């Protein structure tokens, strides 16, 4: 049985804004589910409805086998860590962590034991007597998480808990939360707008746009088989390249014709693309699926495209080439030592077995 279930859940604010629109989501017991999407897409609102901090306009939410629509937040057995978590400044770390348990009138010895246990898990035992202003950002973050885990809830809700941290600390906390999940073995629903966080942390990812769920799946499936152009462009860095053009058929073979460039489509895709012959489509191809021909032996000529190199961007372990296709600029990710001249025409190989095609009107994936 799923630990958290959302059935046709919507949120309509009093001003008529439909911030969440008929979301269906099942989060399994012990699963790490990430809700991801651009700013304003309804992630926090969804999480707040699960927590009981926001009324549900339509639909039902279940935690375990209990419908919680009318159950107040404090009785839902969930703990939430907010983006702008506020620790009580006048209390020590210990008191901050113990606060929720004291409210629930836990016996003193149990409070001490729960806080010690949580502090041990998070490696903050040595900070228990300090006050928040005596802590670094990352330590404060850990205390905020500690405050949530002392309660041993059924479900943890995290709302962009790492957004106030610098890049390095964020990467470190990312691993820590991951490890925490393995150790605690509880259900986590984690909100972020950062696709890298989503990819690296989630057992599964739910992608939301304008309040509407776009796709749910494990990170690899979402990366390899995005259901539409939005998902394809949101997940992955640099983002997937999109080229406008049309499908043409010549001597029984299918090609993508992008104006100045033409590439042959693999036969496995003919069936799906048959209705699109002569029509406009969008070709999607990731930067790592475009190679410099100099470094490829036996590249099929029908997959080679001559493009003008506008920018060479060394990233250290790799180089991004910005290439002009006539209509679009696309990015190819090549080896660290591949340094073509700027403004040079170079032959690039498209790995068409990795290509995606999208309907120009609906932007849904064709194949």
Ligand X SMILES: Nc1ncnc2c1ncn2[C@@H]1O[C@H](COP(=O)(O)OP(=O)(O)OP(=O)(O)O)[C@@H](O)[C@H]1O
Q: Write the Ramachandran bin of 128: left for phi over 0, alpha for psi from -120 to 50, otherwise beta.
A: alpha
Residue with tokens 């935690």: 63
Strand pairing category for 304-314 and 318-324: antiparallel
Specify whether the CB–CB gap between 203 and 33 falls below 8 A: yes
Number of residues that bind ligand X (CB under 6 A): 13
The listed partner (ligand X, Mg ion, none) that binds 15, CB under 5 to 8 Å by sort, is: ligand X
Tell me which residue of 130, 180, 132, 131 sits closest to 158, measured CA to CA: 180
Q: How far apart are CA 60 and CA 167, in angstroms?
A: 37
The residue among 36 and 285 lying less far from ligand X, judged by its C-beta, is 36
Is 37 or 132 the residue whose CB approaches ligand X more closely? 37
- For residues 6 and 59, the answer to whether their CB atoms sit within 8 Å is yes
The span of 37-45, 73-81, 231-239, 268-276 binding ligand X (CB under 6 A) equals 37-45
**Contact predicate 292/346, CB 8 Å:** yes
What does the alpha-carbon distance between residue 206 and residue 9 come to, in Å, rounded to a whole number?
14
- Identify what 217 binds: Mg ion, ligand X, none; CB under 5 to 8 Å per kind: none
- Looking at the Cβ atoms of 41 and 307, the one nearer to Mg ion is 41
Distance between CA atoms of residues 254 and 271, nearest Å: 10
CA distance 16 to 315: 46
Least distance to Mg ion, CB of residue 265, Å: 41
From the list ligand X, Mg ion, none, pick the one residue 39 interacts with, judged by a Cβ distance below 5 to 8 Å according to partner type. ligand X
**In whole angstroms, how far apart are CA 1 and each of 4, 76, 177, 248?**
9, 17, 24, 49
- Residues 215/234, Cβ–Cβ less than 8 Å: no
Please report, as residue ranges, which positions from 179 to 238 form the binding site for ligand X (by CB under 6 A): 193
Give the chain's length.
367
Query: With CB under 6 A as the contact rule, which of the stretches 15-23, 89-97, 291-299, 301-309 interacts with ligand X?
Result: 15-23
- Residue 187 interacts with Mg ion (CB under 5 A)? no
The answer to whether the beta carbons of residues 296 and 349 sit under 8 Å apart is yes
Interaction of residue 44 with ligand X, rule CB under 6 A: yes
Q: Compute the least distance from the CB of residue 163 to ligand X, in Å.
A: 9
Strand pairing of 345-350 and 290-292? antiparallel
Residue number, 41 or 283, with CB nearest to Mg ion? 41
Q: Which residue from 3, 5, 32, 44 is in contact with Mg ion, where contact means CB under 5 A?
A: 44
Taking CB under 6 A as the criterion, the residue among 4, 34, 41, 199 binding ligand X is 41
Query: Nearest CA to 23 among 13, 39, 14, 35?
Result: 35
Among 9, 10, 43, 181, which residue interacts with ligand X (rule: CB under 6 A)?
Answer: 43
Q: How far apart (Å, rounded) are the C-alpha atoms in residues 158 and 167?
A: 18
Comparing CB distances to ligand X, the nearer of 234 and 256 is 234
Minimum CB separation from ligand X for residue 332, in Å?
A: 30
By CB under 6 A, what part of segment 56-95 binds ligand X?
none
Q: Is 19 in the site for ligand X (CB under 6 A)?
A: yes
Q: Select the binding partner of residue 181 from ligand X, Mg ion, none (C-beta < 5 to 8 A, by kind).
A: none
Q: Does 45 bind ligand X (CB under 6 A)?
A: yes
**Contact residue for ligand X among 8, 17, 113, 175 (CB under 6 A):** 17
Q: 116: helix, coil or strand?
A: helix
Minimum CB separation from Mg ion for residue 174, in Å? 18
Identified binder of ligand X from the candidate list 13, 88, 274, 295, rule CB under 6 A: 13
Site residues (CB under 6 A) for ligand X? Answer: 13, 15, 17, 19, 37, 39-45, 193
| Binding residues vs Mg ion (CB under 5 A) | 44
């Amino acid at each position: 049985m799923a630990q958290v279930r959302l059935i046709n859940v919507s949120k309509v604010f009093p001003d008529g804004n439909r911030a969440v629109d008929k979301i269906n989501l099942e989060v399994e017991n012990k699963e790490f589910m990430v809700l991801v999407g651009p700013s304003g897409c309804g992630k926090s609102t969804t999480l707040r409805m699960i927590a009981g901090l926001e009324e549900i306009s339509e639909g039902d939410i279940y935690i375990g086998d209990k419908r919680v629509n009318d159950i107040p937040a404090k009785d839902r057995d969930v703990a939430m860590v907010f983006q702008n978590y506020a620790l009580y400044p006048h209390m020590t770390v210990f008191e901050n962590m113990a606060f929720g348990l004291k409210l629930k009138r836990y016996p003193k010895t149990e409070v001490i034991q729960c806080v010690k246990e949580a502090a041990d898990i998070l490696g903050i035992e040595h900070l228990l007597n300090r006050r928040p202003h005596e802590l670094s950002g990352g330590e404060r973050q850990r205390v905020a998480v500690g405050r949530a885990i002392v309660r041993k809830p059924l479900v943890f809700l995290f709302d962009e808990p790492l957004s106030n941290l610098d890049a390095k600390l964020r990467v470190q906390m990312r691993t820590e939360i991951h490890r925490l999940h393995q150790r605690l073995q509880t259900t986590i629903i984690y909100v972020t707008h950062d696709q890298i966080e989503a990819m690296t942390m989630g057992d599964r990812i739910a992608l939301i746009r304008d309040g509407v769920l776009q796709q749910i799946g494990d990170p690899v499936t979402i990366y390899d088989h995005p259901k539409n152009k939005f998902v394809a462009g949101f997940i992955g860095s640099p983002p997937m390249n999109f080229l406008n053009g049309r499908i043409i058929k010549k001597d029984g073979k299918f090609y993508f014709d992008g104006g100045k460039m033409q590439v042959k489509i693999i036969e496995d895709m003919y069936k799906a693309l048959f209705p699109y012959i002569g029509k406009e489509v969008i070709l999607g191809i990731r930067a790592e699926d475009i190679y410099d021909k100099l470094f490829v032996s036996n590249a099929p000529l029908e997959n080679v495209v001559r493009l003008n190199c506008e920018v060479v961007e060394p990233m250290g372990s790799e180089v991004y080439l910005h290439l002009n296709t006539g209509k679009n600029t696309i990015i190819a990710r090549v080896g660290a030592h591949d340094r073509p001249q700027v403004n040079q025409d170079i032959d690039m190989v498209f790995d068409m077995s990795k290509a995606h095609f999208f309907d120009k009107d609906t932007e849904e994936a064709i194949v």
